[in-house]
Amino acid sequence: MKYMVNAVRKAAAASLVGAAGLLLTACGGGDEASQQSVSTAQGLEQATAAKGERQVARKLLRRYAKKGVTSMALSADGTVVAVARADGKVRVLDTGNGADVSKFSIDIGTVATGIVINNTSNYLAVVGRDSEVHVFDYASGKKLLTLNGHEHPIRNIAQSPDGSLIATVGEETRVMVWRAATGKLAKVFSGHAGFVNSVAFSPDGTLLASGDAAGRILVWNVATGKLVYTLRGHADEVNDLAFRPDGKVLASAGVDGQVLLWDLSQGVRTQAFSGHKASVRSVAFNADGSVLASGGEDGQIFVWNMASGQLDKQLSATTAAVNALLFDSKNKNLLFAGNDDNRLVRWNVASGVGR
């Protein structure tokens, strides 16, 4: 981070020196005219470089903005959803009626930014602004492990379909992959140019996608650690990622208000959904991949028909940002939406009714 700030300062200083040179050469004549032309070009080039560095620095330094409900995770049997909140607490809710059925009290003492429940529902893992991965026994809420490795706050967490691996990302350029059973660090993927906001495993567990503040999505081979694709299409930060259930398509949500679809057989963008008037914070596919939902910073949820590629419904229960979206694993029309105002809304995307 210090390197980036120094780079910005040096580039800005260079542009000022170039500008001063223009003033001096403007007073002369003859051969100095050509020098003035060269100085002008250099000054413009340096000023442009400085602007670019400042823009990158702003993206790297953008503060975590989520409040209220920040993340959600569904149990393996689909009966409960675990909710992580900005107050650091975790609650467990019944998916059928939304009632709080928590049998324990978990508070990580800082903003909780992500949560997963493993596939056998014997533990849950929570990450937050303290740079640690907190692992708890699902039945009792007892702390089992604390995974240390990140040097800065963590922004997201994902688990492999078989529950054997956990991936975490945050306010640094690395993606860390942990062995869930032991808490040992298994792999570190490097290559991002800014903070990493989102991470997701493919349904078969072979790929891992991560989206960063520079607007790039990196797709990794989990087994080899090799970079498979670098996907570019967003004009600003990538906020969230979701694989279609068949694993062939990746959806990305961005600060630029776009929802993009990527063909993972070729690593190319196939579709761009436009309509959001604000940053898109969350995205999720339903169980059969026929519907994609995207949640905006303005509280709007768009429901996209994947067959037609058209907007099917627009849902809104609040003006608070939609931080997290999660479809039920059994009922393809049941969508959970977690918002900045600490509300969890259960939507029927077929009828458009929320409660």
Q: Each residue's pLDDT tens digit in the chain (355 positions)? A: 333 333 333 333 333 333 333 322 333 333 433 344 334 444 444 444 444 444 444 444 467 778 999 999 999 889 999 999 999 999 999 998 889 999 899 999 999 999 999 877 689 999 999 999 999 998 899 999 999 999 999 999 999 999 999 999 999 999 999 999 899 999 999 999 999 999 999 999 999 999 999 999 999 999 999 999 999 999 999 999 999 999 999 999 999 999 999 999 999 999 999 999 999 999 999 999 999 999 999 999 999 999 999 999 999 988 999 999 999 999 999 999 999 999 999 999 999 999 8
Alpha carbons 318 and 303: distance in angstroms, whole number? 16
Is pTM beyond 0.85 here? no
| Torsion sign, CA atoms 184, 180, 293, 64 | negative
Alpha carbons 70 and 86: distance in angstroms, whole number? 6
| Torsion sign, CA atoms 344, 169, 272, 256 | positive
Alpha carbons 354 and 16: distance in angstroms, whole number? 56
CB 158 within 8 A of CB 166: yes
182's CB contacts (< 8 A; 6+ apart) are none
Alpha carbons 299 and 285: distance in angstroms, whole number? 18
Question: Would strands 143-148 and 154-159 be described as parallel, antiparallel, or unpaired?
Answer: unpaired
Question: For the stretch 185-196, what's the b/e string if a residue is b when 16 or more beta carbons lie within 10 angstroms of its beta carbon?
Answer: ebbebeebebbb
Axis-axis angle for helices 2-25, 32-61 (nearest 10):
160
